Amino acid sequence: MATSSGALVGRSRAQSIANLATAPTDAASRNPIE
């Protein structure tokens, strides 16, 4: 159980990092600064 719980936490953390990484480019593509 500890390993599956740890895997879920790691996956959720990876998803958060991915969201943070893509959020600025998402905002820029929706609202380009020119």
Measured CA angle at 31 (ends 29, 34), to 5 deg: 95
Of residues 3 and 1, the one with the higher pLDDT is 3
Instruction: Give per-residue pLDDT as tens, 6-24.
Output: 788 888 888 888 887 787 7
Q: What pLDDT is recorded for position 24?
A: 74
